[in-house]
Structures are given as C-alpha cells and as structure tokens.
Amino acid sequence: MSTPALGRIIMWTSRPKGRNEDSVREWRMKGAGGEAAYGSRVALVTGANRGLGLETCRQLLARGLRVVMTGRNEDATKQALRGIGQTREGGKAIALRLDVTDPASIEAARGAAEEQLGAIDVLVNNAALLLFEDGDVLSIPKEGFQRTLETNLLGVIETCRVFVPPMAARGHGRVVNVSSGVGQLAKLSTYAPAYAISKVALNALTRILSETYRDRGVLVNAVNPGWVRTDMGGPEAPRSVEQGVDTAVWLATLPDDGPSGAFFRDRQRIEW
C-alpha cells in the first residue's frame, strides 16, 4: 500500500465518530424548517415523466423552484410537463431528455438546463428499474443484475458526476437519492434481490458522496418513500404519490445547516 493511500485511511478513521447523528440532532434542535428560503433555486429530477418523479417536480414547482423535468422518453416527459403546467409565479419547469444510462444525454441535459434555467442547485436521483421482483437471487441472470445496477446505481453515479462537482464549486447543493426500504441493510429479505442490492449500494454511495462533499456545501441524503401507488408500487400500495415524495421534497430544500449522509423516511432518520 502506498503512503498517500495509507494517509487517507488514517485521516478517515480519525474523524470524530457519530458526526452524522450529531448533525441531524443539532439541526432538529434548531428547528430548521427548510423549504421557506428555497424559491428560485433550480432542481433537476430524473425519471420525471411519471410516478414519484413527476409528483416531486409538481411539489418543487409549487414551492417556487425552477424545475428541470427529465426522462429517457422526451415526448413522455414533455407531455408530463404539459400536465403539471406552470403552477406558481416565479416557478418554471422545462422538460429534457436524460437517460441515466447514457452519459452523453446527461451532459446534453446539463447544457440545455443551464442555458434555459441556470445552474443546477438540487439533484433528485429518482429514476430506477425494478426487475426480477420474485426471482430467487441465484435464478436472476447476470444481465438482470447488470441492467438493474446500470440504472439504479451507475446511472446515479454518472448523473452525480455531471452535476455535483459544479454544485461544490459554487459551495451549494442538495442531492436526494431515492432509495427504498427494500435496500435497508438492517432489514434485508429475499424480495427483489437485484433491486435490493442496487438500493443498498445506492445507500453506500449516499454516505461516500456526503463525506466527499461535506465541507463544500453539498448535502447528500437518501430517502425511503414507503410503498407508494405508482406503476412500480402497484394499485394496492397504501401511500399516495403526495405522501411518497414529501420527504424527498423536504430533503431537496434543506437549509444550509441541514443533515447530510443520512437515510430518511417520513422526515425521520432511519437506520441503513
């Protein structure tokens, strides 16, 4: 092992323990509410043409943010934009093609978004696939894991690669990774193994990204929306999309002293 690598490990392990817990606690004690001061910021949401992504856009727009709705199908995303309208003065939404598995489309979306609305302050990594829901872990073909991880994990990494460093350079940003209770390591079951593994990995990414950008004004958190009535969740799910996105919208509009590197459900911190 080279000396610089060892140096990094020593620096990391010597960090004060429990820093994430402390930041959440301090922030709660201060009673910071978020949202209020967030109008005029620019938010980009992936997988925004339907489901939780679409409702996230609707609620961010209603709070006065400018919103970049993105989807891998441009027509469907433009149709979704027409559906939500421009609901509040100051708020504005546009629709762009962005396939999280196509890095060129992410770069192109960044250029178009910056030209039309300005630099991205908030990134909501919402797009995901749920494949082989009922399969036994070893019955899922390699391609099933590859497709799942390509979208749910690598797609988030590639999207962050484009949008997060510019946030850090400006000293301000919010990243919300839409995870799942299915990816809660403490409660793993045999349900949807490829999807569950992708969400566990997404949670790991959340913590690493949070640590990487902790001192540069970028707050990175993961959210479990609960079981929600969408195409993915199905009609039997107990939660509405409005309930499902509440915590993601809250995390997207945190004040500067808000938490980072944590996993939330219903605005409460949950274990990984």
Ligand X SMILES: NC(=O)c1ccc[n+]([C@@H]2O[C@H](COP(=O)([O-])OP(=O)(O)OC[C@H]3O[C@@H](n4cnc5c(N)ncnc54)[C@H](OP(=O)(O)O)[C@@H]3O)[C@@H](O)[C@H]2O)c1
Which residue's CB is nearer to ligand X, number 97 or number 207? Answer: 97
Task: Give residue number: closest CB to ligand X.
Answer: 51
Which residue's CB is nearer to ligand X, number 50 or number 64? Answer: 50
The Cα-based distances of 149 to 104, 193, 222 in angstroms read 19, 11, 17
Which residue's CB is nearer to ligand X, number 89 or number 271? Answer: 271
Choice among 38, 191, 195, 213 that is catalytic: 195
Active site residue 191: no
Q: Which of 153, 159, 165 is nearest to 48 (CA)?
A: 159
Place of tokens 């509040």: 88
Nearest approach, Cβ of residue 180 and ligand X (Å): 4
Give the residues lining the site for ligand X (CB under 6 A): 46-47, 49-53, 71-73, 76, 99-101, 126-129, 151, 155, 178, 180, 225, 227-228, 230-233, 237
d(C-alpha 59, C-alpha 96), whole Å = 18
Which residue's CB is nearer to ligand X, number 27 or number 227? Answer: 227
d(C-alpha 100, C-alpha 82), whole Å = 22
196 half-sphere exposure, CB direction, 13 A CA radius: 20
Which residue's CB is nearer to ligand X, number 46 or number 59? Answer: 46
How is residue 89 written in tokens? 């003065």
Nearest approach, Cβ of residue 25 and ligand X (Å): 26
Nearest approach, Cβ of residue 62 and ligand X (Å): 18
Nearest approach, Cβ of residue 151 and ligand X (Å): 5
Nearest approach, Cβ of residue 117 and ligand X (Å): 19
Catalytic residues: 195
